[in-house]
A = this chain, B = another copy of it.
């Protein structure tokens, strides 16, 4: 069980940006802090690489997958299509068991109180939709998508203004509506809701990519940037 704990820890750390995109992962240090030897650690890194969390280059170690501009462009271009396709299948294949886990995850999402926790529950929510869609071929893309989407939405859930809090509430309501659409096997409705949900999320991504401009006073600027 030690190995899976290590896997989950690294995965969570990458998703919540404690391991920043592009940063190098030191084998020795990770072995030390998780108390495993290099063999299982390396197997974990291989798995993480297979799922798109890290990049593995020969003789050069592991680095957290980057999130540069072309990647973000790709995400915005591809995400709605994949989410919509998954939603359609989920509505078609919805099972009582699937709906139940979905409701459970969603209640966890509603009760979350830190931005990171919200982002993680949102991740699980959409992963659960993928599981219900039950398509071994779409799942890999969905998972890949969710990695970057979750990383970018860290800012989304860090609500600072009343407007932002309202937006989050809106996203949560959309989750509920989506569950209802799945439950009544309404693919078209599920797709529409999913696209609305995506549109909402897009704004958060834009805030992540283009943060508010720094103050014009240079000394202030340096202080804020740290």
Which residues on A are within 8 Å of B, measured CB to CB? 39, 42-43, 46-47, 49-52, 71, 74-75, 77-79, 81-82, 85, 89, 134-141, 143-145
Contacts and interface: CB of A to CB of B under 8 A. Distances in A.
Contact of A46 (B47, B52, B138, B144): B47
Nearest to A70: B134
A71 B144 contact: no
A143 to B, nearest CB: 8
9 contacts: A49-B50, A50-B50, A78-B137, A79-B137, A136-B144, A137-B141, A138-B141, A140-B140, A140-B144
A43 B40 CA distance: 10
A55 to B, nearest CB: 11
Contact of A141 (B42, B74, B77, B140): B140
Nearest to A3: B58
A141 to B, nearest CB: 4
A117 to B, nearest CB: 25
Given A43-B43, A43-B46, A81-B85, A71 B136 contact: yes
Contacts of A137: 74-75, 78-79, 82, 141, 144-145
A48 to B, nearest CB: 9
A137 B74 CA distance: 8
Given A46-B50, A47-B50, A49-B50, 4 more contacts: A52-B140, A82-B137, A137-B145, A141-B141
